[in-house]
Amino acid sequence: MGWRELCKKAPGNTLVAWQVMRTDPAPVPPTQRHHRLKGDLATGTRSGKALPQWQIEVTGGGRLWYLFDEDERTCWLVLARTGHPRQTN
C-alpha cells in the first residue's frame, strides 16, 4: 500500500478522503470521485465474507480502495496509491 506516499503527496485531500470514508463510506448517490468499483473489482473478501469494494479518488491519479462491511460499520483499506491503479484501465 502507499498510504504514507499518498499522505505526503496530497495531505489535505487524503485527510478529507479518510474522513469521508469514516462518515459516509457508501454514499447514495455515489459520485464520480467516490463510488463502488465495477465488474470483478466490485466485491472483495475479508475473513471469508464478500464485501462491496469502494473507491475514493484522492487526486487525479491517487486512489483509496476499501471494503465496506455495512453490518459492522467497518471499512477495510485494500489499496492506497498515488498513481492510478491499472486494474481499472
* pLDDT per position as a tens digit, 7-19: 999 999 999 999 9
Confidence of residue 1 (pLDDT cuts 50, 70, 90): low
Confidence of residue 80 (pLDDT cuts 50, 70, 90): very high
Closest CA to 80 of 60, 70, 66: 66
What percent of the chain is modeled with pLDDT above 90? 88
Give the HSE-up count for residue 2: Cα atoms under 13 Å, Cβ half-sphere: 18
Task: Give the residue, 78 or 85, on which the prediction is more confident.
Answer: 78
Report phi then psi at 12, rounded to 5. -65, -50
The three-state secondary structure class of 5 is helix
Whose cell is 471494503? That residue is 67
